[in-house]
Amino acid sequence: MFLMTTSRFLFLILALTISHRLPASSEPRHSPSLRLGVDISGIGRQLISPESLTAEFSADLEWKKNFFAALEGGWMDVDISRETHSYLASAYFVRAGADFNLLERTPETLHDVVLISLRYGYSNMQHQAPRVVVPDPYWGNYQTSVGKEPYHAHWLEAGLGLKTRVWHQFFMGWSLRGRLLISHTRDPEMEPYLIGGFGQAGSNTSLMLHYHLYYRFPL
């Protein structure tokens, strides 16, 4: 399946590069559709960093030919334990926006899309540090904690991606997103390790690759 999807991906890029508009009588008729998806890239990230787990789902509606309304959401859990500290966080996040298809529709690529994506994102978090060890070679180590705190973040994002049919109404796709943090909780007692739905904290920008599986419902 991977080889078949890769070949189809290369075909889509080639078709986008050399495509030309078909005569009006040959263009496929637009048919609205709803596509539901799950982002499985969180599984791969957990293999690299088992201290965090993210689950994410998406929906897009082609309300007009080549224009898609999109909604994404999910949750994140973080559990870190070190010699000097422990850290817990949970968050839910949503993203809403639109996609525009760049690929000319033909009978061979009727439901395949190459997309420009724009999103607004919001994350609502609770995080805490149940154990913080402050080393002191003279008086001895001191242990304290930081109680549960709320943290909120807002951001904008833009990216490129594609969705291609692999079998009947099943699709797979990739998207690469750049994110810009525009607002977050000011002067928190403790900075978060990760911002749910955004990525690594400590920077106003983030770049993330997503891998999706979808099922399409014709309307």
Predicted local distance difference test score (pLDDT) of residue 63: 86
User: Cβ(156)–Cβ(121) under 8 Å?
Assistant: yes
**What is the four-CA torsion angle of 214, 115, 161, 200, rounded to 10 degrees?**
-100
The hierarchical CATH code for the domain 2-10+34-218 is 2.40.160.20
Tens-level pLDDT at each residue, the chain (219 residues): 444 444 454 445 544 444 444 444 455 566 778 999 999 988 888 788 789 999 999 999 998 889 999 999 999 999 999 888 999 999 999 999 999 999 887 877 778 999 999 999 999 999 999 999 988 788 878 888 899 999 999 999 999 999 999 998 999 999 999 999 999 998 888 899 999 999 999 899 999 999 999 999 987
pTM of the model: 0.82
Predicted local distance difference test score (pLDDT) of residue 29: 65
Predicted local distance difference test score (pLDDT) of residue 64: 87
Predicted local distance difference test score (pLDDT) of residue 69: 97
Predicted local distance difference test score (pLDDT) of residue 14: 47
User: Cβ(127)–Cβ(168) under 8 Å?
Assistant: no
- Structure token pair of residue 4: 């078949």
DSSP 47-81: HH-TTEEEEEEEEEEEEETTEEEEEEEEEEEEEEE
In 3D, which of 78, 85, 205 has the Cα closest to residue 145? 85
Q: Are strands 85-101 and 113-134 parallel, antiparallel or unpaired?
A: antiparallel
Tell me the C-alpha distance between 66 and 62, whole Å. 7
Predicted local distance difference test score (pLDDT) of residue 5: 46
Predicted local distance difference test score (pLDDT) of residue 26: 53
